[in-house]
Structure 1
Amino acid sequence: MKQLSVPQRPHINWRALDWLYYPLAAFAITRLTLFFAAYLSEIAFAESGAGGWHAVADNVFLDVWARFDSGFYLRIVQEGYLFKLGEKSNVAFFPVYPLLTDWLVPLVGQEVLAGVIVSNLCLLGALIFLYRLTKLEFDDASTARRTVYYIAAFPTAFFFSAVYTESAFLLWIVGTMYFARRRLWVWAALFGLLTAATRIVGVITFGMVGLEWLRSHGWTISTCFRPEAWWGLLRGLRTDWPSLLVIFVIPLGLLSYMLFLQRQFQDPVAFWTVQAAWGREDLGPVAIIWRDVSGLISQNFFTGKIWWHVLLDVGAFFAVLILSVFVWFRLGEAYAIFCLLSVLIPVSSGTGSMTRYALILFPLFMILGWWGRIGILDRAIMIGFSVFLGIFTAIFANWIFIA
């Protein structure tokens, strides 16, 4: 009698799924901890900051993730863009994140909930892309693991779950570089376009992808003095010019928003015009840094009466400058230029929120992830980041401005 064969279970290669479960673990651990910390901070401490409104007064779990600039995004979702010269206006905030939130509102029935879902889904996607990009650059899974944990536990990483644009921007920018490094230019251009329509510094991706295209044909800033680099570039222009044309799609993200502003308010750069309403001055990076550093020096650190948020922002600025040098030599000029321009553009009018701007500079975390192979440094980074993440989350939850 013929025996029936028992079908075997399909074998799952878990190691091949490391790109999914390590980012998912970093996401789950940090987000669950953060949600608990934010909720506890809100109910345990008397509100001592400048809060004048509550987006969801009857739900602390949701309300705690709508603070400060969240109000501008929520107003875009509810009422659209408004612009009045000399006043703070939501035209300063680019459209992709509020559009995603608006599309989700009919499904969940609540603007803040929709925003929180969008933020967290974008964060998870960004961590997956970042893991894969880091593994591609360093050919080391442990460096990739540390990188995603470091960025998810950074002291201002609570913004990734709030009604803010940070997580969406991180998703698009990391995706852009991942596809550019894989030479998938159409996908790189699409993600770059979304990046440019999410924040003003997103247009930098045009230069980043352009530099990667040049590098793919043997031309870099460091090799531009060699004749063979130019011959390689000429060959690339003859044979791969369609890919170069695709990259020119990226600035359309910014240009489309400028066209909307021109038609709606007759000011294509209204997002820059309104910066003065936030007290920003176009003095240039050197003058701004000198002003803030000299102001800090004149204060008394022993009494504690100092501009603590300015201290953090200036410290973050210099940390980015220093780490960008290591990024240049280890990861390349495109990554380093992105980091430098991402802080030099906003710091030309003020250092405010620099700790938040540093949050999306993923190449810095890739370098830290590489350094983290030294055990004591890895533990120091994780402990330090985690402690300050808890402190900063409590500060943010209680309406004290931090970034």
Structure 2
Amino acid sequence: MSDNQLRTRTPDAPAPRSIAPGPRATAALRAAAPALAVYAAVRALGLLVLWAAASATGKDALTRLSGRWDSVWYQRIAEDGYGYTVTLPDGALHSDLAFFPLLPALERGISEVTPLTPGGAGLLVAWSAGLLAAWGVFAVGAHLHGRRTGVVLAALWGVYPTAFVQSMAYTETLFTALAAWTLYAVLTGRWIAAGALCVLAGLTRPSAAALIAALAITAAVTLVRECRAGGGAGPVLRRNGRMIAGVALAPLGWLAYVVFVAVREGSPFAYFDVQAQWGNNIDGGRALASFIAGLPWPAALGLCAALGLLGWLVVLCVRQRQPLPVLVYTLAIVVISLIGAGYFGSRPRLMMPAFPLLLPPAVALMRLRTTGRAAAVLAVLACLSAGYGAWTLLGAGPP
């Protein structure tokens, strides 16, 4: 394992106490301003195309963003708490315990102190978290490959094929914001902050398991490497006390909710039973293989090509020698998204928080001879993403 993959702070990075927190945050926001502006522009384009398409077809764009599919479940939890269950015709139970509590808690809190409904509060959270996520994505990209690459990385995340979900009252933007800033905290040696952010991520989505694994594996490799270097277990543990504390803190949010469901339902594995009722159990990829096998051969070939592209991006991330926490997080998100038995159409959405997959394309775009060419590519991608988003949101099925 190379030092590059394990590094947590660049050699020329400023000492964390060299600048007062206020001015440092202001400077960081100023540096991220181009990335936030580009991200806001591409998401605004998506909303504009959705509004135009919805108006042309006599549909309500706002309802498509805040009042359908998973967002309805979150709003019901925000209004009434947990306890709602739907029995399907085949006897399967869909319980609201499948949904983690941070988003509905924020929706409830905002709706109680503002005129917003829980749905409106969900949109406020999603859109605000989208900007925070773009900032965190930029921060990771800029830390690893420079400020311009960070801007392009944030833009690419904003034009991801299912980026329309970033404008919905869903948890993807909130989780990505927490994940990006957790990874940035690890890369810059702020382990306690990373652990605290990971606690919040663990209250947002079950895929926080990927983030917890990234912190734990990075810490374990660091400790083993330092012990092998002859430091002795005692001094190594004392020297890395903050890292160990951050790793111990990281899983508490995820574990707290799993324990809550277990106590409520009277079974230690109740949360996993709830997910299985929703069809979200882990099957090792059998459901994905069966779905592909059942497609007409042109569609099956196209999907296999898309999976091949995904695999190529993963290889590029490894060849790019991304730092260990970033690489572990990315691989874990990809694996979790592929080995579940859930609805196939949700898999690209579940993979969207794996923003480091876009680092190789971002670096490649920066190698184009002119900034105009990179901008043109991003503009085309933004238009395609906006069109696909409008078509999907105005359709019948959930994303």
Contact conserved, 1:173 with 1:195, CA < 8 A, in 2? yes
Q: 1:368 aligns with which of 351, 361, 377?
A: 361
Deviation, 1:162, is 0.3
Structure 2 residue matching 1:219: 3-state secondary structure: helix
- 1:315-326 mapped onto 2 (5 Å cutoff): 317-326=307-316
Structure 2 residue matching 1:401: 3-state secondary structure: coil
Distance 2:272 2:203 in 1: 14
Deviations 1:141-167 (A, max 9, x none): 111110011101112111111010000
Deviations 1:84-134 (A, max 9, x none): 483222211111111111111121331111110100111111111221221
Structure 2 residue matching 1:199: 3-state secondary structure: coil
1:169 alignment partner AA: F
Contact conserved, 2:40 with 2:131, CA < 8 A, in 1? no
Deviations 1:4-52 (A, max 9, x none): xxxxxxxxxx9975433113212320232122112112221266xxxxx
What's 2:247 paired with? 247
TM-score by length of 1: 0.80
- C-alpha RMSD over aligned residues: 3.0
Deviates more, 1:68-77 or 1:204-213: 204-213
Q: 2:393 aligns with which of 388, 397, 403?
A: 397
Is 1:354 the counterpart of 2:344? The answer is no
What's 1:53 paired with? none
Contact conserved, 1:321 with 1:340, CA < 8 A, in 2? no
What's 2:69 paired with? 68
Contact conserved, 2:178 with 2:200, CA < 8 A, in 1? yes
What's 1:134 paired with? 141
Deviates more, 1:71-80 or 1:263-272: 263-272
Deviation, 1:187, is 0.5
Deviations 1:47-87 (A, max 9, x none): 6xxxxxxxxxxxx3532312321111111112212254832
- 1:4-403 mapped onto 2 (5 Å cutoff): 18-45=30-57, 60-66=60-66, 67-82=68-83, 84=85, 86-106=92-112, 107-138=114-145, 140-214=146-220, 219=225, 227-228=228-229, 231=231, 235-280=235-280, 282-285=282-285, 287-296=286-295, 299=296, 301=298, 317-329=307-319, 330-350=321-341, 351-375=344-368, 378=374, 382-383=378-379, 385-401=381-397, 403=399
Contact conserved, 1:19 with 1:131, CA < 8 A, in 2? no
Contact conserved, 2:161 with 2:388, CA < 8 A, in 1? yes
Structure 2 residue matching 1:88: 3-state secondary structure: strand
Structure 1 residue matching 2:249: 3-state secondary structure: coil
Distance 1:17 1:70, change over 3 A: closer
Runs of 5+ consecutive residues of structure 1 not aligned to the other structure = 1-13, 48-59
Distance 1:175 1:367 in 2: 20
Distance 1:214 1:200, change over 3 A: same
Contact conserved, 1:190 with 1:249, CA < 8 A, in 2? yes
Aligned length: 361
What's 1:56 paired with? none
Distance 1:80 1:197, change over 3 A: same
Structure 2 residue matching 1:193: 3-state secondary structure: helix
TM-score by length of 2: 0.80
2:118 alignment partner AA: E
Deviation, 1:270, is 3.7
1:385 alignment partner AA: L
Distance 1:44 1:311 in 2: 31
Runs of 5+ consecutive residues of structure 2 not aligned to the other structure = 1-25
Distance 1:239 1:189 in 2: 17
Larger radius of gyration: 1
Distance 1:282 1:154, change over 3 A: closer
